[in-house]
């Protein structure tokens, strides 16, 4: 009862403040990063929609300093100005949870949960007890959940309490830079990484697997780290490098309670090899995805973004049968036959040796069909988001 009363007090207090139609506040990853959909929408609105006043809210000193240095408006979430602008902002836009911006204020404010990509895998349903106070509050506040595909959105929407989110069909803002290179924007870290890739003059295989419950998503069939020496040699002979990024949950600095420190043994081995390039925690994946000539993945939603580039895909899936049985798919991307398949490290190495011959006309056709299935022609821009903000 007391908890419900506090919710009502917060709701009425926060909504007493007059809202400024032009102020939008943005955040990401519990205030730790400047990345993903909220970042790209923030940059796009800064550049093309001067009628708005976009403000980034962060808890990270490096993010704050970087944005300040580059003349973007940014405040700490716990600063007086940060709190003030969160209170008067017309819309809150974030990628993961309300704490991306300011948990207590965002929860009771108009917002758009931009989410962080299309998920091919199933997610567990969360059962919520009937809560009349939550229902009252959610009915009073406009909240949208953004997804490009209505059918695939339902599994995720069902995880939220009733009435909390209304579906907003739209393309992902982070895909703007994959479709329009003139809108590419990079931090200095990302520019340095792109320079390193360009300087190597090698074919680039981007390896971006999805996270696993045990926190060990990479090279899952490798039982002896010395097996990676031969992979490194094959990359060398084929004038290629693997560009590798751990899942955010597998980064120690992310602070996720499910972080498995055992992954660092693998990373230490890979860093001793000269044909691996590493993408750090701060780097936005879509800002460097266009540098990949090939994608190596498993069941990650990055595959849908990569469809926009129409380049070869390798599914490296040594745990496919157990994943299909224990986790399952909303959309089984392996069965879509949009790329080559490797069920172990040996087959992956063979595909790298084959190089250009791993793709064929059927795969290209299937990729195009899946692209149109996920991102319909009616939502391949971000007009639907802008329509909401302008209302």
Do 229 and 166 fall within a single domain? no
Contact yes or no for 355/238 (Cβ under 8 A): yes
Rounded to whole angstroms, the Cα distance separating 269 from 324 reads: 29
The 203-207 sheet, strands edge to edge? 276-278, 240-244, 203-207, 294-297, 313-316, 340-342
Do 367 and 223 fall within a single domain? yes
The CA distances from residue 248 to 20, 243, 271, 348, in Å, are: 34, 16, 18, 24
The CA distances from residue 189 to 38, 66, 195, 280, 281, in Å, are: 19, 11, 10, 9, 11
Residue 176 falls inside a structural domain: no
**Count of domains in the chain?**
2
Tell the residue number behind the tokens 């007493």, with chain if given. Answer: 16
pLDDT tens-digit series, residues 18-77: 999 999 999 999 999 999 999 999 999 999 999 999 999 999 999 999 999 999 999 999
Rounded to whole angstroms, the Cα distance separating 104 from 138 reads: 14
Rounded to whole angstroms, the Cα distance separating 280 from 284 reads: 9
Do 195 and 297 fall within a single domain? yes
Residue 125 falls inside a structural domain: yes
Rounded to whole angstroms, the Cα distance separating 212 from 260 reads: 10
Do 236 and 104 fall within a single domain? no
pLDDT tens-digit series, residues 356-378: 889 999 999 999 999 999 987 65
Q: What is the pLDDT along the chain (391 residues), one digit of tens a residue?
A: 558 899 999 999 999 999 999 999 999 999 999 999 999 999 999 999 999 999 999 999 999 999 999 999 999 999 999 999 999 999 999 999 999 999 999 999 999 999 988 999 998 888 888 889 999 999 999 999 999 999 999 999 999 999 999 999 999 999 988 877 666 789 999 999 999 999 999 999 999 999 998 989 999 999 999 999 999 999 999 999 999 999 988 998 888 888 999 999 999 999 999 999 999 999 999 999 999 999 999 999 999 999 999 999 999 999 999 999 999 999 999 999 999 999 999 999 999 999 888 999 999 999 999 999 998 765 557 899 999 999 8
* Single pTM value for the model: 0.94
Do 39 and 149 fall within a single domain? yes
Contact yes or no for 144/166 (Cβ under 8 A): yes
Do 96 and 37 fall within a single domain? yes
With DSSP H G I counted as helix, E B as strand and the rest as coil, what are the percentages for the chain, rounded to 5?
Answer: 45, 15, 40
- The CATH number assigned to the domain holding 16 equals 3.40.50.11820
Contact yes or no for 58/135 (Cβ under 8 A): no
Residue 2, pLDDT score: 57
Residue 1, pLDDT score: 55
Rounded to whole angstroms, the Cα distance separating 191 from 256 reads: 28
What phi, psi does 206 have (nearest 5°)?
-80, 120
Structure tokens given for 140: 């009073």
What phi, psi does 296 have (nearest 5°)?
-110, 120
Residue 377, pLDDT score: 66
Residue 11 falls inside a structural domain: yes
Do 205 and 105 fall within a single domain? no
Rounded to whole angstroms, the Cα distance separating 338 from 340 reads: 7
Residue 177 falls inside a structural domain: no
CB atoms within 10 A of CB 38: 31
Do 264 and 343 fall within a single domain? yes
How does DSSP assign 257-315, residue by residue? TT--TTHHHHHHHHHTSTTEEE--TTS-HHHHGGG-SEEEESS-THHHHHGGGT--EEE
Rounded to whole angstroms, the Cα distance separating 75 from 161 reads: 30
Rounded to whole angstroms, the Cα distance separating 26 from 52 reads: 13
Rounded to whole angstroms, the Cα distance separating 342 from 324 reads: 16
Do 263 and 163 fall within a single domain? no
Residue 56 falls inside a structural domain: yes
- The CATH number assigned to the domain holding 341 equals 3.40.50.12580
Rounded to whole angstroms, the Cα distance separating 274 from 114 reads: 37
Host H or E run for residue 372 = helix 361-374
Using CB atoms within 10 Å of the CB of residue 40, give its burial: 0 to 12 exposed, 13 to 18 middle, 19+ buried: buried
Do 231 and 161 fall within a single domain? no
Structure tokens given for 234: 């094959």
Residue 323 falls inside a structural domain: yes
Do 117 and 213 fall within a single domain? no
Residue 20 falls inside a structural domain: yes
Do 261 and 326 fall within a single domain? yes
Residue 345 falls inside a structural domain: yes
Angle value at C-alpha 220, between 350 and 307, nearest 5 degrees? 65
Rounded to whole angstroms, the Cα distance separating 351 from 234 reads: 11
Q: What's the farthest any 2 CA atoms get from each other in the chain?
A: 68
Residue 233, pLDDT score: 98
Show the domain range for 161. 2-171+379-390
């Amino acid at each position: 009862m007391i908890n419900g009363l506090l919710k009502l007090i917060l709701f009425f207090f926060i909504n007493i403040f007059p809202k400024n139609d032009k102020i939008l506040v943005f955040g990401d990853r519990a205030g730790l990063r400047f990345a993903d959909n909220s970042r790209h929408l923030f940059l796009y609105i800064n550049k093309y929609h001067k009628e708005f006043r976009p403000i980034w809210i962060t808890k990270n000193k490096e993010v704050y300093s970087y944005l300040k240095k580059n003349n973007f408006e940014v405040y700490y979430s716990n600063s007086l100005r940060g709190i003030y602008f969160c209170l008067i902002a017309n819309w809150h836009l974030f990628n993961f949870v309300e704490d991306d911006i300011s948990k207590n204020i965002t929860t009771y404010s108009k917002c758009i949960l931009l989410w962080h990509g299309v998920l091919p895998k199933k997610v567990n349903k969360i059962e919520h007890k009937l809560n009349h106070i939550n229902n009252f509050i959610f009915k009073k506040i406009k909240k949208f959940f953004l997804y490009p595909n209505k059918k695939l959105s339902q599994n995720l929407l069902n995880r939220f309490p009733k009435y909390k989110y209304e579906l907003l069909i739209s393309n992902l803002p982070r895909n703007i830079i994959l479709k329009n290179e003139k809108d590419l924007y990079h931090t200095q870290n990302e520019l340095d990484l792109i320079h390193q890739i360009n300087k190597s003059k090698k074919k680039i295989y981007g390896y971006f697997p999805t996270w696993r419950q045990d926190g060990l998503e990479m090279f899952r069939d490798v039982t002896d780290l010395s097996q990676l020496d031969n992979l490194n040699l094959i990359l060398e002979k084929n004038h290629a490098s693997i560009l590798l990024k751990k899942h955010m949950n597998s980064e120690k600095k992310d602070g996720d309670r499910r972080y498995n420190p055992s992954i660092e043994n693998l990373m230490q081995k890979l860093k001793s090899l000269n044909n691996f390039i590493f993408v750090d925690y701060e780097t936005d994946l879509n800002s460097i995805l266009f540098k990949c000539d090939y994608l190596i993945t498993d069941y990650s939603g990055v595959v849908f973004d990569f469809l926009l580039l129409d380049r070869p895909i390798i599914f490296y899936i040594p745990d496919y049968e157990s994943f299909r049985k224990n986790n399952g798919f909303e959309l089984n991307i392996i069965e879509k036959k949009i790329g080559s398949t490797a069920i172990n490290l040996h087959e992956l190495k063979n595909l790298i040796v084959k190089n250009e011959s791993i793709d064929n006309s059927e795969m290209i056709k299937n990729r195009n069909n899946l692209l149109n299935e996920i991102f319909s022609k009616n939502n391949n821009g971000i007009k639907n988001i802008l329509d909401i903000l302008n209302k």
